[in-house]
Amino acid sequence: MSALPEHISVWSELADVEHELRHVDVGGVRTRVLRAGTGPDLILLHGTGGHLEAYARDIAGLAADFRVTAYDMVGHGWSDLPDQPYTIDVLSEHLLGLMDALDIGSAHLSGESLGGWVVAWTAAHHPDRVARLVLNTPGNIADKPEVMVRMRESTLAAVQDPSEATVRRRVEFLFHHKEMVTDELVNLRRAVYSRPGFLRAITNTLVLQDPEVRKDFAWRQAWVGRIEAPTLLLWTDHDPTGGLDEADLLLRWLPDARLHVITDAGHWPQWEKKDEFLRAHHDFLILGKDPA
């Protein structure tokens, strides 16, 4: 009998974990939320065009230390898709509204890609709501036009044509080990991208890849330097959206930051290098030390 693969499905990861999946009203936005575990609050934010399943491989491990909340940001996943630009301030206000709805005063925040941008903005503008901060491959800190174009075009193409081949290419963009992209993960994205109104919603998200819109929220020392929360930068050596030169920018701007590089991974280390991702969160958020 052959051994079972390490990962079978998104929900098999939660098969032995007490959890709840429900929708929460956040200022009129029906927001899909998954919660598990007990302990200090940790909120997980996904990236552009994503959904809470981006953290499927991590929730069980994190729930051993934290009360974990993963959710679909407004305009994403299976949350509501109101017709408005989803700029960083809008996404941050949605996060704060969710925290209020769940009676979370302050929490550790860990955001991947766009989610990292949102949690950093939140920490800078609402320091009382953030304990510690993890910026996981936040991407394109330097506002490189070619990265913006690639992100905009690849995402829009997948939503305009949510076929298996097109969406698979979009998901594979996130991975260094593309063989780890499962049919289930591709089909989850296809289901999201096929939702009525999602093309309009992703267009409202991709305004952040427009240099004119982006300039009001772009990573700058002026606001990044206001972040008081101790911050862990989780980078990888194969991230297609930003190299270690951009991590160096944040290390210079952030008052209290350290860098941990996960090797042999792309834009989703939480999936490709689960154990190291979990260990980094445990060491930094629970033990208060730099990840080994």
Q: Residue 281: how many CB atoms within 10 A of its CB?
A: 26
Nearest C-alpha neighbor of 208 from the set 217, 221, 220, 195: 217
Residues 40-53, mean pLDDT to the nearest whole number: 97
Confidence class for position 104, pLDDT limits 50, 70, 90: very high
> Residue 71 is inside which H or E element, if any?
strand 67-71
The mean pLDDT value for 68-75 works out to 98
Q: Determine the Cα–Cα distance for residues 60 and 4; give it in Å rounded to an integer.
A: 19
Question: How far is residue 129's CA from residue 97's CA, in Å, rounded to a whole number?
Answer: 11
Given this model, what pLDDT does residue 142 score?
A: 84
The pTM is what?
Answer: 0.97
Question: Using CA atoms, how far apart are residues 195 and 277, in angstroms rounded to an integer?
Answer: 31
Mean pLDDT of 215-221: 95
What does residue 74 show for φ and ψ, rounded to 5 degrees? -55, 135
Instruction: Using the structure block, give the residue that is written with the tokens 């206000």.
Output: 93
- H/E element holding 155? helix 145-160
CA quadruple 26, 229, 206, 22: dihedral positive or negative?
negative
Task: Look at 139 and 214; give whichever has higher pLDDT.
Answer: 214
In angstroms, the CA 125 to CA 95 distance is 13
Going by C-alpha positions, the residue among 232, 277, 239 that lies closest to residue 254 is 232
Q: Would you state the pLDDT for residue 1?
A: 75
